[in-house]
Amino acid sequence: MKLKEALNELKKEEKKKFEQSVDLIVNLKGIDLKRDQVNIVVNIPHKIKEKKVCGFFSAKTKLVDSITEPEFAKYKDKKALKNLVRDYDYFISTPGLMAKVATAFGKVLGPVGKMPSPQLGIIGQENENAIKNELGKIEKAIKIRLKEPSIKVLAGRENMKDEEIVQNIESIYNAIINALPKKKENVRNVMIKLTMGKPIRVEI
């Protein structure tokens, strides 16, 4: 089924009391999870939701919630650290602080893919313009890490325009294809679904 037709089918489903997400599922084949690493940041054309961001900085800023270097020590408390990771979607920092960020937060941020990186989250300078620029990137960014032979990604919300959802899905799909060792040969099938709905197979 073509993508637009599939979206129409999804939207015929019974409405829930909450706005459901539109998920893209790319099932893979011929992938060695140990050898074939996929760890990418995709920039989508249309924002899906608000993202909570926290910065590791030398000084506080009004632009984003921030933790200064002297405050790092209080996150030795496991509960405080766990809550921090749960409460924020993304973390940003400057290169000069990254070694200390890695020491204080790396064991928890790394495994969940929230560690600031050159791809997304590390800003060259700690100033207003640099922070605003990075927040703008994060707004339309999606991180994808291959952990199993199936990639499930939030691509939109049901109240978005169909054209916006389609463009997001195409951007994400193309980025995944480009990151796979054998490109489309590694794709078993592609599906989309609403949060509470059944998957529909699609052609992209």
- Mean per-residue pLDDT over the chain, rounded: 94
Cα–Cα distance list, 168 to 38, 84, 154 (Å)? 19, 29, 9
In contact, 79 and 88? CB cutoff 8 Å: no
From 89, 122, 139, the end of a domain falls on: 139
pLDDT in tens, 107-142: 999 999 899 999 999 999 999 999 999 999 999 999
Full-model pTM: 0.86
Residues forming beta bridges with residue 189, ordered by sequence position: 27
From 139, 157, 172, the end of a domain falls on: 139
CA Rg, the chain, in Å? 19
pLDDT in tens, 171-187: 999 999 999 999 999 99
pLDDT at 14 over 80: no
Average pLDDT score over residue span 54-69: 96
In contact, 157 and 11? CB cutoff 8 Å: no
The tally of domains found in the chain comes to: 2
Q: What is the CATH number of the domain that holds 191?
A: 3.30.190.20
Overall size of the chain counted in residues: 204
Average pLDDT score over residue span 42-63: 95
User: Do 29 and 57 belong to one domain?
Assistant: no
Question: Rounded distance, CA 14 to CA 159, Å?
Answer: 14
User: Do 69 and 29 belong to one domain?
Assistant: no
User: Which band of pLDDT confidence, cut at 50, 70 and 90, is reported for residue 54?
Assistant: very high
Question: Rounded distance, CA 156 to CA 48, Å?
Answer: 5
pLDDT in tens, 74-86: 999 989 999 999 9
User: Which band of pLDDT confidence, cut at 50, 70 and 90, is reported for residue 33?
Assistant: confident
pLDDT at 1 over 80: yes
